[in-house]
Structure 1
Amino acid sequence: MTVTVRFAPSPTGRIHIGNARTALFNWLFAQKHRGRFIQRFDDTDVARSKQEYADSILYDLHWLGIFQDATEYQSKRFDHYDAAVERLKAAGVLYPCYETPEELDLRRKVRRTRGLPPVYGREALALTSAQIAEYEGDGRRPHWRFLLPNFVSDPLEPMRTEIRWNDLVRGEETVDLASVSDPVLVREDGTYLYTLPSVVDDIDMGISHVIRGDDHVTNTGVQIALFQALGAVPPGFGHHNLLTTVSGEGLSKRTGALSIQGLREDGIEAMAVASLAVLIGTSESVHAMPTMAELADHFDPAATSKSAAKFDPDELLVLNRALLHHMAFADARDRLGALGIGGERAEPFWNAVRGNLDRLSDAAQWWKIVNEGPQETSELSDEDRDFVRIAFDLLPEDPWDAGVWKAWTAKVRKMTERKGKALFMPLRLALTGLSSGPELADLLPLMGREGTLARRP
């Protein structure tokens, strides 16, 4: 059996790092098992679904390093869902209900006052033909519920019925079908809710494993029953913990919180996002993985905690710095070129500055400093200014090589008797305008003697 997984967001907004966690869990699982990854868009909500969001989701996934083997749209498969509905009706497990939302809410309240679980009582199954005719005469249209197999002979007498599965993440899981309501599969207007299209697609597309957030655990019991009602063997299931902010707040496509697009535009590296999204909330320490292949080697769904994974967005910057500090010039070349950084000095420049970058785009500032001088006026005391002027008078002659900084500061130390911070800080401020940054021993050959002299205060 070929392992086949799917990532199935609704294209109603831009995906965030929590959505990316689900996509990555599926992608990495497929990679480890040499399987297939299907990108499916659950776009049955035609009013809210937009192609521009579907396109942006694909762009975000490709940026992360996730590439689909096939792309499917539920909006093109309504005939498959219609056929499944007719099969379920013929089997007697899809029945019409005429209650209004207000009536259902009242019934739930009554059940609570009686100490009963607030599940649907299947009152629609007891309707007479006359009552149905009266409802339809009043203009009511039915919604359709799936009759869960939680009874022996009388559906009005449900009993504990356990659905069990060995979860890829959580281990042994059990859902009692008597504790949940018969799910609505078809709305009054004939449109489909999530459950039926998802199950039909998983059957038709040969999905072997469904990996998603743990907010779907209860749904899984219901869906397994629906798989069986449609004559299919259910796939394996895995439910990972959800990502929340440090305060415990959930993420939402509607608010755009920590969207992949926003992180990308903020200069966060794709592997920083992927590393955090996959490793946080697991027994594996969160550290920057330079490639998806290496991340796959560390990926183990069973190592995921059952509790929510709280993370601080500042962790992304920590991972970002680690990736940049070890990034080879060959991997940065094209992006540096887009920033105007090129030529024979580009590689030594990158090797000099990468250890001081939060974002790759920060390299542009250092390129300007190297080529044009300080971008900010340094604040030197009169004493330090006099010291720097003496130091500049001692600059070695050309040619300059990697040892010029050491040779220069040795002469300055001998002449002025300054050492340590008192020697290096005024020179750094004069040369770069900043109190910290890359090693001056690496920058000085890039500036050249003429470029360095031009910075004399």
Structure 2
Amino acid sequence: MSTGAFSKSTAKALGVPLTSFLRQQRCNVHILLSRGPSTTLSRNASNVSQRRGFLHCSAVAAVERPSTPLEAASNPPQTEVRVRFAPSPTGNLHVGGARTALFNWLYACNTGGKMVLRVEDTDQARSTKESEAAVLRDLAWLGIKWDEGPDIGGDHGPYRQSERTALYKQYVDKLVEQGKAYLCFCTDEELQQMKAQAEAQSLPPIYRGKWATASKEEVEQELAKGTPYCYRFRVPPNKEILIPDRIRGDVRFNTNALGDFVILRSNGLPVYNFCVAVDDALMRITHVIRAEEHLPNTLRQVLIYEALGFSTPTFGHVSLILAPDKSKLSKRHGATSVGEFREQGFLPEAMVNYLSLLGWNDGTEQELFSTEELQQKFSLERITKSAAVFDKTKLSWMNGQYLRALPDEEVLSLASSLWIESGLLAKADSPFVRAATSILKNSLELIVDANTQLRELLDYPLEASIASDEKVAAVLEDNFAEVAQAVVAAFDSGELPAAVAEGADAYKGWVKGLGKAQKRKGKRLFMPLRVALTGTSHGPDVADVLVLLALEDGDVKEPGALVPLSQRIEILRGWLAKQA
């Protein structure tokens, strides 16, 4: 970015006219030498500014600026709860991130607070607008609503970190002016040497370079040469930091294990921990609820809060979500993103219910919660410290509960859309389609299963079942041929088709008569009839299947998918002929 372009963007971010901003910058170059620690950056300001556009636009630190953005340093405690979810748009929304967003939203709803959506897109190489749009779409699909964000605005924007660089630079300058940050000219090679020396002495790999105590002359010499530099935060030595955590209890750190850390890179981009601290303060965030992997970052952020005079928010670090083998949940365990689960047919209400129980419970045995119940019952105190295990089988079961609770018309719409899209059926609504939906509704866990299950109902895999199904083998041993012959005879006489045409009750009456004639009842009657008429040992009620087949009237589009009753009888007749 050129200096001119940066000046325009900075002036815009600060809300001041460009001419006023540029006039202020020219004045600053002349007043720096009286600014204590910041005087180290005064000379050669113009030349370095031209070479390093963004960095030295105000690397001179002691800059007179409009006071509005920095007034936030007073940051009085908030009475209204304000939480935030801050995804990085570098990929899809992981279930772990979705749970974090959900917990924040539920807490805001429970306390009457507000939720802020902030996009942390400072990783320019990996961040994309497509990923940002996908994350927002997945959150909206889950029903999570935010009060401020990049798509709807708010009083504390911009809500993308890439649009807040001018603000971050102001606070870097403020720290340098106060002697709480400094310029570091160490090369990568020097930093690697320090790390190797620390490892050789069994010391933590923290920064121990000379630039923390460099003189003004040493700094000015490097600036004159155009040496690349970053900004480091000056960590107070041997300071005990106590961080109360609403989930994990008190967490203690000692700053000696930290070392002076980078807050602004040599390429002009601010570092994650600095951005987060400044953003949380300026956006008036009162509660930071996030994954425990961020706990080590908290020390750096608390130090930045204190150095800038910001109030420290309340923290709550949630345990990780693990795979069934207790390893970190990853792609090798199957679907891990919200989008993947949506495409597999999971309902948003089921996802929200299940995610809410990954690390939280209301103290009862209840497992199914409406969103309204979750909003009423959620609290940080009921979040557990132990890691949660992601169990897709349990999620599928829960989805089935929600699917069966849907109105019949909604299930019909979902199922018929699937059948038409796959090319299995030709009609979206008909007596056949309604009967198929009614039969399958209570056995579905995912709506996408309706495709497979309807195909199974329409098929007649008698030969395959005889060859591989142990239950069918047991049926064959109990004189199955006798029942099969009776079924074929009833079809040929018209007795069976007539019973099916009248409906399920008439069919069951025919079965009762067959049982008396064959001197069979219970399993010895029903199992051979199931095998003879459906070709399998399991499935929905045989009467319902036969009535469904009778209702078919051009509904099935896919060639070969439907095996009508007449064709089933011919296959059964062929099998009997082979046994003769």
Please tell me the TM-score bracket, short chain as reference. Answer: 0.7 to 0.9
Match of 1:99 in 2: 186
* Correspondence list, 1:331-410, <5 A: 331-339=410-418, 340=420, 341-343=428-430, 349-367=436-454, 373-374=458-459, 376-377=461-462, 379=465, 383=481, 385-390=484-489, 392=491, 394-395=495-496, 397=499, 400-401=502-503, 403-410=505-512
Residue 5 (1) aligns with residue 83 (2): yes
Q: What's the offset of the Cα at 1:431?
A: 4.2
Post-superposition offset of 1:390:
4.3
**Structure 1 residues 435 and 135, CA, compared in 2 at 3 Å: closer, same or farther?**
farther
> How many Å apart are 1:44 and its aligned residue?
1.6
Please identify, of 270-279 and 396-405, the stretch whose mean Cα deviation from structure 2 is larger. 396-405
Match of 1:25 among 103, 119, 135: 103
Alignment of 1:37-436 (within 5 A): 37-71=115-149, 72-121=159-208, 123-136=210-223, 139-148=226-235, 150=236, 158-165=237-244, 167-251=245-329, 258-282=336-360, 289=368, 291-297=370-376, 299-339=378-418, 340=420, 341-343=428-430, 349-367=436-454, 373-374=458-459, 376-377=461-462, 379=465, 383=481, 385-390=484-489, 392=491, 394-395=495-496, 397=499, 400-401=502-503, 403-436=505-538
What's the TM-score, normalizing by structure 2? 0.68
C-alpha deviation, 1:60, in angstroms: 1.2
Alpha carbons of 1:355 and 1:93: their partners in 2 closer, same or farther (altered >3 Å)? Answer: same
1:17-39 Cα offsets, whole Å, 9 max, x none, are: 11112111112112212322222
- Note if contact 2:432-2:548 (Cα within 8 Å) is conserved in structure 1: yes
Larger mean Cα displacement after TM superposition, 130-139 or 191-200: 130-139
For residues 319 and 110 of structure 1, do their structure 2 counterparts lie closer, same or farther at Cα, with a shift above 3 Å needed? same
Cα distance change, pair 330–68 in 1 and its aligned pair in 2 (3 A): farther
Contact 1:321 1:359 (C-alpha < 8 Å) held by counterparts: yes
* % identity of equivalent residues: 34
Q: Which amino acid aligns with 1:302?
A: E
Higher alpha-carbon deviation: 306-315 or 63-72: 306-315
Distance 1:134 1:419 in 2: 101
In structure 1, stretches of 5+ residues that fail to align are 151-157
**1:272–1:288 CA contact under 8 A, matched in 2:** no
**Alpha carbons 2:92, 2:339 under 8 Å: kept:** yes
Q: Which moved more, 1:269-278 or 1:397-406?
A: 397-406
Q: Tell whether the 8 Å contact from 1:398 to 1:449 is kept in structure 2 after alignment.
A: no
1:172: Cα distance to partner?
2.4
Would the aligned equivalents of 1:213 and 1:240 in 2 still touch at CA under 8 Å? yes
Pair 1:456 & 2:569 matched: yes
| 2:542 is the alignment partner of 1:440 | yes
Per-residue deviation at 1:214?
0.5
1:265 Cα deviation from its structure 2 partner: 1.7
Q: Partners of 1:298 and 1:390 in 2: how far apart?
A: 63
1:254-305 Cα shifts (integer Å, max 9, x gaps): 9996122222222233334333333134466898636322344554433333
Cα contact 1:271–1:289 (8 A) shared by 2: no
Contact 2:500 2:546 in 1 (8 A): no
Relative to structure 1, the CA distance from residue 426 to residue 269 in structure 2 (aligned partners, 3 Å threshold; closer, same or farther) is: farther
For residues 109 and 92 of structure 2, the distance between their equivalents in structure 1, rounded to whole angstroms, comes to 25
Residue aligning to 1:155: none
CA distance in structure 2 between the aligned counterparts of 1:61 and 1:76, rounded to whole angstroms: 22
Once the 2 structures are TM-superposed, how far is the Cα of residue 179 of structure 1 from its aligned partner?
2.4
Q: CA deviation at 1:402?
A: 5.4
CA change 1:50–1:390 in 2 (3 A) is: same
Q: Find the aligned partners of 1:200 and 1:3 in 2 and give their Cα distance.
A: 18
Output the amino acid matched with 1:188.
S
Secondary structure at the aligned position of 2:442 is classed as: helix
CA distance 1:414–1:294, shift in 2 (3 Å): farther
What letter is aligned with 1:57? V
Equivalent residues, number: 446
Matched letter for residue 144 of structure 1: Y
- Decide which structure has greater helix share: 2
TM-superposed CA distance for 1:13, in Å, is: 0.8
When structure 1 is superposed on structure 2, of 329-338 and 201-210 the one drifting more is 329-338
Contact 2:242 2:250 in 1 (8 A): no
Whole-angstrom CA distance in 1 between matches of 2:370 and 2:507? 36
Taking a change above 3 Å as real, the CA distance of residues 311 and 361 of structure 1, as seen in their structure-2 partners, is closer
Q: Structure 2 CA distance, aligned partners of 1:15 and 1:450?
A: 43
Evaluate the alpha carbon distance shift between residue 256 and residue 199 of structure 1 in structure 2; reply closer, same or farther with a 3 A threshold.
Answer: farther
Bigger Cα displacement from structure 2, 128-137 vs 184-193: 128-137
CA shift in 2, pair 1:397/1:248, >3 Å: closer
Q: CA RMSD in A?
A: 3.2
2: CA distance, partners of 1:36 / 1:24:
13
Structure 2: which 5+ residue stretches go unaligned? 1-78, 150-158, 421-427, 467-475, 554-563, 571-580
Letter in 2 for 1:56: A
1:411 positional shift: 1.8
Report 1 or 2 for greater relative contact order, CA contacts < 8 Å, sequence distance ≥ 6.
Answer: 1
Contact 1:275-1:286 at 8 Å conserved across structures: no
Whole-angstrom CA distance in 1 between matches of 2:507 and 2:367: 33
Q: Which amino acid aligns with 2:390?
A: F
Deviation at 1:205, TM superposition (A): 2.0
Partners of 1:163 and 1:177 within 8 A in 2: no
The more displaced of 417-426 and 187-196 is 417-426
Shift of residue 422, structure 1, vs aligned partner: 3.5
> Once the two structures are superposed, what CA deviation does each residue of 1:337-367 show, in whole Å capped at 9, x if it has no partner?
4234534565664343222223212223444
Contact 2:292 2:318 in 1 (8 A): yes
The range that moved more, 356-365 or 11-20, is 356-365
